[in-house]
Amino acid sequence: MEEDQLAKLYAYDMMLLDLADTIREGVDKLEAAVGSDDFPKAMSDLLATARQAIETFNRREETITGS
């Protein structure tokens, strides 16, 4: 693996770690919103972050393989 590929891979992994933190925060917000009017937004925000994490993970393979 070339150095530039490794740097891209590292950047993707850091994005995934950041998204994992955001998901954890979203779960906390969702839990706090149970039974309140904030619940739908908390759920929507958490689902959006989860989708972003999945998309980012799927692009990670493209970075590794270069395709």
What residues make up the domain containing 56? 3-65
Domain count, the chain: 1
Rounded Cα–Cα distance for residues 18 and 24 (Å): 10
* pTM value surpassing 0.85: no
Residue 42 has pLDDT above 90, yes or no: yes
What pLDDT is attached to residue 1?
66
Query: Phi, psi at residue 66, to the nearest 5°?
Result: 75, 15
Rounded Cα–Cα distance for residues 29 and 6 (Å): 35
Rounded Cα–Cα distance for residues 64 and 67 (Å): 8
Residue 50 has pLDDT above 80, yes or no: yes
